[in-house]
Structure formats: structure tokens, C-alpha cells
Structure 1
Amino acid sequence: MYFRKTLIAGSLVLGAAATGLAAETRVTYKSAKTGSSYYQMGVELAEAMKAGTDGEISVTVEESQGSVQNVMEVRARGADYVFTTPPALVGLAQQGKAMFEGKSSPQFEEIRALFPIPSLTMHFVMSADSEATSLEDLAGKTILLGKGSFGANEGAKYLELFGLSDDVTIADAELSNAVNALKNGRIDGFVTAGSFPAPNVIEAAASTPVTVLSLTDDQIAETKRTRLVIPAGTYAGQETDIVTTSLPVAAFTTTQMDDDTAYELTKTYWEQKEELADVSRWWNGVTPELLENVTTAFHPGALRYYEEAGIAVPATN
């Protein structure tokens, strides 16, 4: 296993080797908070880039306070900058809407996509004893949502959207306590969002019988989120597919990055994906079909790889 939690400092060095890259091309990857699954993904990706290019690409993984910050930093970053964010946020930034209102910048128009990474996936995890098999069955149950996270906010939104807010008791506890609370019967279920397989769902399913709820296609349409299927067998005791919602996430750069570097980053990412999945199973959730969720134009270097590989990209490119 090539994975080591090593961060390789540096900035981008451009050169003219046969591949278009210098002996060492250094890239900064703006990820998420230290300790989060997305920060761990960044470290894994850095190691994959190093291994897949024989050290020609080195990646520094930087901690981030969130996707909005990642987008905002485009204004002050250079050609070495790669960052992760939901594609929808890039669109909002380019339109100067929502959290980007009054903060428009010409640099936002230079953002270009590289490749998708694992999506934020909603999990409604219920104890088997609760006998809940659908969202409607949450009525009368005690649910732990956590506080402040995407999953907590999204879970609360769904309860409101489907008329369950007054019928569900929200446990006053942190999500980190969810598995123990479920095992001890203090809650009937919890809501979490993360790339699947989610570590806390793996732990819950391994320690007590659980049911991860599916949403109907009509419910998914009401949420205005992206439909995602968690294959049967992902979690212990899961005999059928789980149909749920997700928030796509992708890696982006800007037009300042040269085409050869963007090409090598994209090519190496897809060629190393099998090895990445050997390190963490959440990389199995990334397929070329996720490119359809990217509404931003792709970097010309990335497009060169997709054309060579025969991988279709959205019609906007």
C-alpha cells in the first residue's frame, strides 16, 4: 500500500520536459478540515499523484474551512491551485448569487473542472428494532441529526419538506455519539452525510442490525438533489440497493494552470483510481458518469484526456 500521511510542500514549477512537465511539478490541493473524510481523500490523492507520476507531481494538501472558502481563494491563488467544492457553488460564484452576492470577481470566470471526487451522500440510518423502512416511518421516532454539518442541515430540511418536523424527536447530542446511542437504544436512528461507505455507518451496521432508508424517486425530485445508488452489500446486512440523495463534489483549477499539468493530473487520477479504492472504498463511488453533475467548463488539459480515453463530458463543454 503506497498510502502515507505525508504532505509535500511547495508551489507549481513549470517547465518543458518531453511530457510538458518539469522534473517536479508542485500543486496545492485545498481540501477540507483536518480529520474529515475529504481531507483524508486529499492525502490519499496526493500519494496517488506521486506514485502515478514517479514523483513528477507533488501535492501539498491544505486544510480548509469549507467549500466557499476554497472558491473565494481563487481570487488570490496562482497556476498551482486545485480545490474541491460542489459544482453548484462554482455556478453561484460565477453568477454572484447567495453566499457570493456582492463578492463577484473576474477570477471566478476562470474556474475550470478537472475530475469528480466522491459525493456527499445522505444516509438515514435506523435501528432494526425501530421497524422503520421508509421516511414516513420516522414519525414518532427519536433521531440524531448532529449540529452544523451538511448532513444535519439537509436532514432537518427533509423532515420539514416531508411534513415530519412535528412528529420526530430530535436528540440533543453530537453526531460522534450516534453509534453508541443507537446501540444502547437511546435513539432510533441518525442522519449522516459523507462519501459511501461512510465510516460511522460501517461501524453502526457492524455492531447492531440497522436499516439505511431509501427515498422514492418523487421524494428525491422534491429535495432537488442528485439521485445516487449505494450498491447492495456496501454495509453489513444490506441485501438491496439503497436509493438516496447526494451532493456532487469535484476538483477544480483555473485557466492559469497550463494544459499539460491539467492533463497529467486528470490522467493520473483516473489511472490511479483502482489503487485509490484499495486504500479507501469510497473511491469506488467515483465513475465517469459523475462528470454529468459538473456544470462548469472543463480545463482544456482535462478535456484532452477525456477525448483520448473516449469518456463523454457534459454537452456544455
Structure 2
Amino acid sequence: MRSLKLAGLLLIVMLFALAGCGSAQDDGGGSDDSGSSDNGGDDASSSEEVRVTLGTGGTSGTYYPLGVAMTEQIFSNVEGVSQSRAVSTGASVTNAQELAEGKYDAVLIQNDIAYYAANGETLGDFEGNTVDNMAGMTSLYPEDIQVVTTADSDIESLEDLEGKTVAVGDQGSGTEANANQVLGAAGLTYDDLTAEYMGFGDASQGLQNGTLDAAFIVGGAPTSAIQELGASKDVKVLSLSDEVISNLTSEYSYYTEKTISADTYADYGQEEEIKTVAVMAILVVDSELPEDAVYNMTKSMFENKDALEAAHARGSDITLEGATDGMSIDLHPGAARYYEEEGVSVE
């Protein structure tokens, strides 16, 4: 009887041992097969292609629809790019910061903000925080510096802003930096006027209710804040003098001269064309992206520009001839190679 119990116990032990061996073989075999397939596939893909995430701006702005068209209709078909997508962001300053962090592979950004970021200066966000992985791909369209007042105002030039209350943009913003520079080119400082730090919507309201005399608005004309003002009061957008324009374009590489047609705001009381300067919206990529991939992305964008024109009216401003106008940082070698082949200056 005792021998039968011992034999039974031995049988149970052997069955557990066999089950354990079988389980180990199954798990080990499955793990080896899966690991070999997945890792091998990833290595092969990463050595040949890149994924591009493009940081844009708010969904109601210009950057986002253009970015979606770029990623979904252009870059997604480019050799060397396995996947591309656009994401909504806080726009220029945020885009520069998060490009540095590796969150994006490309961003849409104002060229002055790109300059500050690449050089670690001027704006508080970048003071001493240089963005080292930023390279230019192309200039896109102008964002105009507009100094607006009401048609019944006695303000006719920048010099007339002395002693006035003027909205200069949110403190530390790109607009505020532009306002400071434009005033400086006219021989003025904030000490010569009452500077109010506020966004475009609040500035438009201030001009409507008379608490402001003038406002700096930076954006592609026609700009909605000026149109909103024009719905209740006739507007006057000032021209900058030739001297002020020359001072700005010679001192700051990111400004370009711009003339806004009188027709742009004719329905809102504007009677004359507007001579001013503009910063440029530009497309920036991570400098570590492969040269061939960026070359193909640049080439494809200009060969399929109709997709950008269909996405937003500003798409028609994007031209090969103006691809390096106002480019405030070094070009990516892939973009530079394409421009050199097409006879576009890369100086």
C-alpha cells in the first residue's frame, strides 16, 4: 500500500515537470519569433525612412490648414518619409521650444522668432536657451507689420504716436518685439508714449471704445482684428517712411519690404496703399533629418503647390522664387541643394 502511494506521488511530480518544460518551450519560442520579426523590421525602417511630425498653430489660424495639406497631401508621398502628420500647437514660440525637445521634426514659425531661438536672444523665452537643432527649409508668406488707428485720428505717421496710448502686443510676444524695433527705427521708445500690452482682439476693442489711439497688429493682410474694427469705425493703417523701412531691413535680416494694396481694407475706410515691412512665416526642420529626405520634401512641396493653394489663400504666396526671402537661420543642406539646382539664391 505504501509503495502504491509512493508511485502515485512520483507520477504526479513527473507530470508537473513535463508541463513546466512544455510551457517554457512555448513561451521561449514565441518570444524569440516575435522579437526577431519586430526588431528586424524597425531597424530596417529606421535606416531608410523617417517619420515627420509637423507642429503648426491653432486650428482656426493659417498654420494648421497649410500644415495639414503639407503632411497629408505632399510629404506623405515623399521618398524617405514613411509617415507624416500635422498637429495643432501654440504656434511660433511653443513650436521652437518643442522642436528643441524633439517633440516635432518640423515646425511652422515666424522668421523673427526662429532667429531669436537659434541665437538664444531678445525674447525672454529664449534668452540663454539656444535652439541648436533648427534649420530652415523654406520661406512661406509674409506676416505684415500693421500700425492701425481710426480714420478720424490725427495720427498720420509713426512720429505722431508720441504722447499717444498704443497697443504693442502681449508682453514678451513677437508682436511686442516688432513694435519695439519699428518704433526704434523711427527714433521713438516706449518712454515717448503709453504702451499697452494686449493681444489683437483687445486692441481692436480699445480702438473701438476710444481707450487706445493706435495698435500694432502683425499678421497677413487682411487681418481679422482690423476688419472687426472696420465693422464699427473706418480704419487708417499707417505707411512707414522709406527711412524707417531702410533702417529696419538693414539692421534686421528677417524683415522684408511690403506694400499692401489700398483695396485690402477699402471696405473699411482705407484710402491709400500701405508701405510697411513684414516678417515671414517659414518652415523649419530638425537639422538632424537626413539630407535626402529634406531634399525630397522641399522638391515635392514646390511641385505640388496647388495643394497648399487649395488649403488656404496664403498658399498662393508660396513661390520658389521667394523661397529664401527673409530666411533668418541657416538652411538645411537638403533644402539648399534643391534651391541650388533650381537657381535660387541660398546666400
TM-score, normalising length from structure 2? Answer: 0.66
Change beyond 3 A, Cα 1:156–1:30? same
1:75 and 1:182 map into 2 onto residues whose CA distance is 38
Q: CA deviation at 1:82?
A: 0.7
Answering whether residue 107 of structure 2 is matched by residue 83 of structure 1, we say yes
34, 54, 59: which one aligns with 2:85: 59
Deviates more, 1:69-78 or 1:225-234: 69-78
Q: 1:227 aligns with which of 239, 247, 256?
A: 256
What's the counterpart of residue 9 of structure 1? none
Matches within 5 A, 1:1-317: 26-32=51-57, 34=58, 37=61, 40-52=62-74, 58-64=84-90, 66-67=92-93, 70-74=95-99, 76-77=101-102, 81-87=105-111, 103=129, 108=132, 111-148=134-171, 149-159=173-183, 162-163=187-188, 165=190, 168-170=193-195, 175-223=200-248, 224-225=251-252, 226-232=255-261, 233-237=263-267, 238-287=270-319, 288-289=321-322, 291-308=324-341, 310-315=342-347
Deviation at 1:103, TM superposition (A): 4.9
1:94/1:104 contact within 8 Å kept: yes
CA RMSD, 1 decimal: 3.8
CA offsets 1:73-114 (integer angstroms, 9 cap, x no match): 455538x71123455666666666666676568xx2x54321
The answer as to whether partners of 2:136 and 2:327 remain within 8 angstroms in 1 is: yes
Q: Is the 8 A contact 2:59 2:65 kept in 1?
A: no
Moved more, 241-250 or 57-66: 57-66
Q: Are residues 112 and 157 of structure 1, via their aligned partners in 2, closer, same or farther at CA, if it must alter by over 3 Å?
A: closer
Stretches of structure 1 lacking an aligned partner (at least 5 in a row): 1-12
Three-state SS of the structure 1 residue aligned to 2:152 is helix
What is the rounded CA distance, in whole Å, between the counterparts of 1:31 and 1:210 in structure 2?
31
**Structure 1 residues 269 and 14: CA distance shift in structure 2, 3 A:** farther
Contact 2:92 2:110 in 1 (8 A): no
**Could you list the runs of 5+ residues in structure 2 that have no partner in the other structure?**
1-41
Give the superposition deviation at 1:304. Answer: 4.3
Structure with the largest fraction of helix: 2
The match for 2:17 is none
Give the CA deviation at 1:253: 1.6
Alpha-carbon deviation of 1:115? Answer: 0.9
| Cα separation, partners in 2 of 1:278 and 1:213, compared to 1, 3 Å | farther
Deviates more, 1:239-248 or 1:85-94: 85-94
Q: Distance in 2 between matches of 1:29 and 1:77?
A: 11
Mapped contact 2:136–2:329 kept (Cα < 8 A): yes
Alignment-derived partner of residue 29 in structure 2: none
Larger-gyration structure (1/2): 2
Distance 1:26 1:62 in 2: 17
In 2, Cα distance between the equivalents of 1:118 and 1:269? 14
| Matched length | 289
User: Could you tell me how far apart the structure 1 residues matched to 2:327 and 2:197 are?
Assistant: 36
Contact 1:139 1:164 (C-alpha < 8 Å) held by counterparts = no
Q: Which amino acid aligns with 1:282?
A: R
Alignment partners' CA distance in 2, 1:96 and 1:190: 28
TM-score (norm 1): 0.71
After superposition, give the CA deviation of every residue in 1:248-302 in whole Å (9 maximum; x if it has no partner): 3422223432344323422343344454345433344444335132254433432
Output the amino acid matched with 1:181. G
Measure how far apart 1:47 and its partner are: 2.5
Contact kept in structure 2, 1:46 and 1:58, CA below 8 Å: no
TM-superposed CA distance for 1:130, in Å, is 0.3
Please state whether the residue corresponding to 2:265 is helix, strand or coil: coil
